[in-house]
Amino acid sequence: MAVRKKRCVAMLLAGGQGSRLGVLTKYRAKPAVPFGGKYKIIDFPLSNCANSGIDTVGVLTQYQPLELNTYIGTGAPWDLDSSTGGAFVLPPYMKATSGEWYSGTANAIYQNMYFVDRYDPQLLLVLSGDHIYKMDYRRLIAFHEKNQADCTIAVMRVPMSEASRFGILNTDADLRVVEFDEKPAQPKNDLASMGIYVFTWQRLREFLIADEEDENSSHDFGKNVLPAMLDAGCRMFAYPFDGYWKDVGTAQSLWESNMELLEPDPAIALSDESWRIYARSANEPPHYIGPTAEVSSSLISEGCEVYGKVENSVLFSGVTVEAGALVKDSVVMSGTKVASGAQVQRSIIDENCRIREGALVGDGENLTVLGSDVQVEPEAKVKPGDWIAPKSVIAKGGE
């Protein structure tokens, strides 16, 4: 296959388990977690690539990759099925003498160095598949080139009280990074790394090889490679970003960021035609709102059938809400059915659950989470705040 030289290749780290999402990531990697009625988290970085004119994206998978692999396919939904580039799912593989899992973010790129080299790119864009945001990477790249940087890290201002959860960058007045503090106990600054890096590829390559040889390294960008680059005097800059950016790493933050979409003027506008977020289509018919339905302040996707009350909620494709059922302050994923008289409040319900007649899930206070294919039998109750494992059956009286 002819390979054309690329100015920039993107590598998307999509191997994370997202263990704090619990029952929602038992059978899928975090980037495959559904969001916003028709998307998966990974649609955001992939669409950002497509909209930024980056047509070669390696997607590094590891944990539960099946759902992600089938979802990405040839990359056509994101316009990435190009003849000179494309979307490539890159799982760890066996080499002649050994085979190993990706041991860290830097190691994942190291193991795919030959993939990147095929395109002989000037720049490597490293992304994570964990965040909801819209970013024009062209601006980040222009900033990197203007500064003749070796590495540029996108940063956000975060509240000082939360700064110790992030990688904090201390910079000089020109935004050149002087110190990289990974999750500091005493942060000196509020500029947090967003996990979005641009590297001058040949420069990064040297450091990846050196890092691989260091037995004491955990082969992580934040912990090892970035500090090593700084120590060696590399030109590292912080690119300030002030748009919406959300790490949906916990069930609570996933629920919150879905709820934020329901505000009258949401911080992340999905209807922006100039920056579409693409997703693989479910190919379902338009949704139907029945004569007895009451729907307000909600997002509803194709294929839904609603006869009951839906308030302040996000319904993914193919959800049924029968007459007399109530769905309030909740996120209900594809194919789930809420039968008549059932109530779902302040909950995240994963795909293909059955909430039978008169069942109660959650209350108005604690976030309740149901994994996929859970059956809640008639009149049964799921205790508010509980997390129910996929495929469980909740019987009446057996809370």
Partner 1 sequence: MLQDVCALVYAGEENPNLRDLVMSRSVAALPVGGRYRAIDFLLSNMVNSGIRNVGIITQKNFKSLSDHLGSGKEWDLSRKKDGLFMLPPFDSTSSAHLYRGMCDAIHSKLDYLEKASQSYCLLTGSYTVYSADYELMMKAHLEHNADITMLYSQEPLDFPGQERFKDVRVSTDEEGRVRDLEVDSNNMRSPKLGMDVYLVKKSLLEYLVQNSCARGGYRFVSDVLIPNLRNLRIFAVRHDGYVQRLHSVYAYYKLNMDMLDSKVRKDLFRPGRPVYTKIKDEPPVRYMEGAHINNCILGDGCELYGSAEGSVLFRGVALGRGARAKNSIIGQGTAVGENCELENVITDKYVRIRKGVRLIGTPQFPVIIRKGAVI
Give contact residues for partner 1 (rule: CB under 8 A). 36-38, 76-77, 264, 270-271, 276-279, 281, 283-293, 295-302, 305, 310, 314-315
- Residue where the block lists tokens 């035609």: 273
165 vs 287, beta carbon nearer partner 1? 287
Q: How far is the CB of 293 from partner 1 (least distance, A)?
A: 6
Going through 183-258 in order, the beta strands assigned E by DSSP cover 191-200, 236-240, 245-247
Sign of CA dihedral 370, 375, 379, 380: negative
Q: Which is nearer to partner 1, 233 or 291 (CB)?
A: 291
Give whichever of 112 and 301 is closer to partner 1, judged by the CB atom: 301
299 alpha carbon, distance to own chain's centre: 19
> Burial letters for 178-212: b for 16+ Cβ neighbours within 10 Å, e otherwise?
eebbeebeebebbbbbbbbbbbbbebbbebbeebb
Closest CB 299 distance from partner 1, rounded Å: 4
- CB-CB contact of 41 with 31 (8 Å): yes
Give whichever of 186 and 283 is closer to partner 1, judged by the CB atom. Answer: 283
CB atoms within 10 A of CB 71: 19
Least Å distance, CB 302 to partner 1, is: 6
What is the nearest approach in angstroms of partner 1 to the Cβ of residue 272?
9
Q: Which is nearer to partner 1, 300 or 382 (CB)?
A: 300
* CA distances in angstroms from 193 to 24, 169, 221, 268, 281, listed in the order given: 26, 7, 11, 20, 32
Taking the CA atoms of residue 265, residue 243, residue 39 and residue 369 in that order, the dihedral angle to the nearest 10 degrees is -80
Amino acid at 257: S
CA atoms of 50 and 210, how far apart (whole Å): 32
Please name the residues in contact with 168: beta carbons below 8 A apart, sequence gap of 6 or more: 180, 181, 183, 184, 187, 188, 189, 190, 191, 192, 193
CB closer to partner 1 out of 142 and 269: 269
Which C-beta is closer to partner 1: that of 305 or that of 379? Answer: 305
Query: Residue 210: helix, strand or coil by DSSP?
Result: helix
In the complex, least distance from residue 39 CB atom to partner 1, rounded to whole angstroms: 9
18/24 Cα distance (integer angstroms): 9
Nearer to partner 1, 24 or 315 (CB): 315
The smaller minimum CB distance to partner 1, of residues 159 and 286, is found at 286
**Strands (E) located in 34-134:** 34-35, 39-40, 56-60, 86-90, 123-128, 131-133
Which token pair is 171? 């910079």
Tell me how far apart the alpha carbons of residues 190 and 57 are, in angstroms, rounded to a whole number: 31
Question: Judged by CB, which is closer to partner 1: 238, or 299?
Answer: 299
Q: How far is the CB of 201 from partner 1 (least distance, A)?
A: 31
Separation of alpha carbons 245 and 241, rounded Å = 9
Assigned token pair, 288: 């139907």
Q: How far is the CB of 192 from partner 1 (least distance, A)?
A: 28
Q: How far is the CB of 36 from partner 1 (least distance, A)?
A: 7
| Residue 271 beta carbon to partner 1: minimum distance, rounded to whole angstroms | 5
We find the least distance from the C-beta atom of residue 324 to partner 1, in angstroms, to be 15
Using the 8-state DSSP alphabet, how is residue 265 labeled? S
